[in-house]
Amino acid sequence: MTDNQRSDDIVRAWVQDGPEQASADLVERTLRPVPRMRQRRSWRIVMERVSRPVLAGAAAVALVAVVVVGIGGSSGFGGVGAPAATPIPVPTKPTFELTFKSGPGAGTYVTDPATSLNVCTHATDGSWRLLYAGGDPFVNLDLLVGPDAGAPDGASDVAAEIYAGPGYVRFDPGILRGGDAAGRSTASVAIASAPGATTFTITATTPDLSNSEESTVDIDLTVTCPN
């Protein structure tokens, strides 16, 4: 006879006798098999354990997505509302700023966009030529930058003849055009190239030829030519 059958017989006899309280021996024998019974796991507990890796993976993917979107937005990779890059304007005509620091033409002169003569050419030998006439007060520029101006010892490879209001000067220390005695004037030019344009920065010291009494004039001239 098994323990379960013996327990059943004891319970049946106890019920038939009609006692009001169960004996300690009955309770002990009846409850003894209970701890051995295997309980089924709740499906909620099982689903919770199974879903933890899935939820963790989904959270990781969501975090990566947030980081990528954040990086894209902050670095301009097509983020919503990212401002478009402003293109640098390229000049279509030459521009200049000329300053006579002393003499009858003392002052600063700039390009008049309405003038009819304003052209810059780049020759096959590498030299540059600017011809300009116009403005009020009137300015006439004839500038030549030699092909060796960009060389280490070519800073003086520049020549110009300039009318600016009542002032008039010329300089040609490299004897590019002739007509300027050696040592009469000094000048230097620096060249800076950028996409679409080349800029020449020129300084010169030369006699003012606007009157019979020659006086030395210092000149600053910046010219930008479209490439």
pLDDT in the model for residue 12 = 64
User: Closest Cα partner for 117 from 147, 136, 93, 88?
Assistant: 93
Question: What tens digit of pLDDT does each residue of 47-101 get?
Answer: 445 445 544 555 554 544 444 445 455 444 445 556 666 666 666 899 999 999 9
* Beta carbons within 10 angstroms of residue 177's beta carbon: 14
Looking at residue 37, its pLDDT comes to 46
Tell me the pLDDT of the chain averaged across its residues.
76
Q: What is the largest CA-CA distance in the chain?
A: 152
Spatial separation of the C-alpha atoms in residues 159 and 204, rounded to whole Å: 10
Which is more confidently placed, 108 or 183? 108
Q: Could you give the angle at the alpha carbon of 170 between the alpha carbons of 164 and 173, nearest 5°?
A: 145
Considering the chain, what percentage of its residues have pLDDT values greater than 70?
58
Q: pTM of the entire structure?
A: 0.60
Please give the pLDDT value at position 99.
98
CA distance 197 to 190: 14
Put the strands of the sheet holding 186-194 in their side by side order. 107-110, 95-100, 215-226, 197-208, 186-194
The answer to whether the beta carbons of residues 109 and 164 sit under 8 Å apart is yes
Poorest-confidence range of 18-22, 132-136, 205-209? Answer: 18-22
With tokens 């403005």, the residue in question is 135
pLDDT (0 to 100) of residue 22? 55
* Confidence category of residue 136, pLDDT binned at 50, 70, 90: very high
The vertex-142 CA angle with 218 and 200, nearest 5°, equals 65
